[in-house]
């Protein structure tokens, strides 16, 4: 359980919730969030860690209202408690050297903590961020605190903006067509790309096998073995 300290609408259908009292996770991990006592939906909903401030005991989530669970989250107010099971999942590998970060839509959320952690480990590396949105931009100024450049694309493909031939590690999270496009370009130039996959989840801890994906080494659970995979491992899923 964690206590909500703020829950604000930051763009059309997009909310930022900050809680205190959640266990400290890392970039790329997620929590199964649930309104305490709710019967519908009964199961938690996977929401990525967007930003962590361990000193102030703050974990921030950015979520899009798409259905019953996320609509309930948006109605919660500061002071209420929220069920925070987690953190779950493997998280992003923090590879040495320069980084190029691609986020599409709500897939931008986990990339903020990734950018922050990469910067904290190496203040001198170059980090270029490419964010794509359908209409409205969010989180840009937050990324600008840690990245060398933040390029915004409205209505197009971030994969057209980014240069995949750099000596850098590439990280991507976003809708399936964006991940597919990133994988195609990365393959063509042999770039090292990590992708965060999204699947419907029930348990979130690897027990129900409801979230498996095809990998080069057999079927794996996105919640436990992922959600972050080396793109070459999950090529058949993209």
Query: 203 is in the binding site of which of ligand FES, ligand FAD, none (Cβ under 5 to 8 A by kind)?
Result: ligand FES
Considering only residues 56, 68, 216, 219, which one is a binding residue for ligand FAD as defined by CB under 6 A? 68
String of DSSP letters for 118-168: HHHH-TTS-EEEEEEESS---SHHHHHTT-SEEEEEESS-HHHHS-TTSSE
Which CB atom, from 10 or from 209, has the smaller least distance to ligand FES?
209
Residues numbered 161-220 forming contacts with ligand FAD, rule: CB under 6 A: 198-201
User: Tokens 């090292």 sit at which residue?
Assistant: 192
Closest residue to ligand FAD in the complex (CB)? 67
Do 100 and 234 touch, CB atoms closer than 8 A? no
Shortest Å, Cβ 82 to ligand FES: 19
Residues numbered 28-57 forming contacts with ligand FAD, rule: CB under 6 A: 30, 41, 45-48
CA angle 127/155/11 to nearest 5° reads 80
Applying CB under 6 A, what is the total number of residues that bind ligand FES?
12
Contact letters for ligand FES, residues 192-211 (x by CB under 6 A) = ---------xxxx-xxxxxx
Query: 209 is in the binding site of which of ligand FES, ligand FAD, none (Cβ under 5 to 8 A by kind)?
Result: ligand FES
Query: 66 is in the binding site of which of ligand FAD, ligand FES, none (Cβ under 5 to 8 A by kind)?
Result: ligand FAD
Considering only residues 92, 118, 227, 233, which one is a binding residue for ligand FAD as defined by CB under 6 A? 227
Give me the residues paired with residue 8 across strands.
16
User: Tokens 């990734």 sit at which residue?
Assistant: 114
State how far the Cα of 11 lies from the Cα of 19, in Å rounded to an integer. Answer: 19
Contact letters for ligand FES, residues 219-238 (x by CB under 6 A) = --x-x---------------
Do 171 and 182 touch, CB atoms closer than 8 A? no
Helix (H) or strand (E) holding 114: helix 109-121
User: Tokens 């930022």 sit at which residue?
Assistant: 16
Residues numbered 88-147 forming contacts with ligand FAD, rule: CB under 6 A: 106, 109
Do 167 and 187 touch, CB atoms closer than 8 A? no
41: contact with ligand FES by CB under 6 A: no
């Amino acid at each position: 359980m964690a206590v909500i300290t703020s829950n604000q609408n930051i763009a059309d259908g997009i909310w930022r919730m900050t809680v205190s009292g959640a266990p400290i996770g890392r970039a790329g991990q997620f929590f199964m969030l649930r309104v305490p006592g709710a019967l519908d939906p009964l199961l938690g909903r996977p929401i990525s860690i967007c930003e962590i401030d361990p000193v102030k005991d703050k974990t921030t989530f950015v979520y899009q209202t798409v259905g019953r669970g996320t609509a309930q989250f948006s109605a919660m107010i500061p002071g209420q408690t929220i069920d925070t099971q987690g953190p779950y999942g493997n998280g992003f590998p923090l590879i040495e050297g320069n980084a190029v970060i691609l986020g599409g839509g709500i897939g931008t959320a986990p990339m903020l903590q990734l950018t922050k952690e990469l910067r904290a480990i190496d203040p001198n590396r170059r980090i270029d961020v490419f964010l794509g949105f359908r209409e409205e931009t969010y989180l840009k100024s937050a990324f600008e605190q840690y990245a060398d450049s933040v390029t915004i694309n409205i209505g197009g493909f971030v994969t057209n903006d980014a240069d995949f031939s750099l000596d850098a590690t590439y990280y991507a999270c976003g809708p399936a067509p964006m991940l597919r496009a990133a994988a195609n370009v990365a393959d063509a130039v042999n770039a090292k790309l990590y992708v965060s996959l999204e699947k419907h989840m029930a348990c979130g801890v690897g027990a129900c096998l409801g979230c498996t994906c095809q990998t080069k080494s057999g079927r794996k659970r996105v919640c436990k073995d992922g959600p972050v995979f080396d793109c070459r491992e999950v090529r058949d899923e993209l």
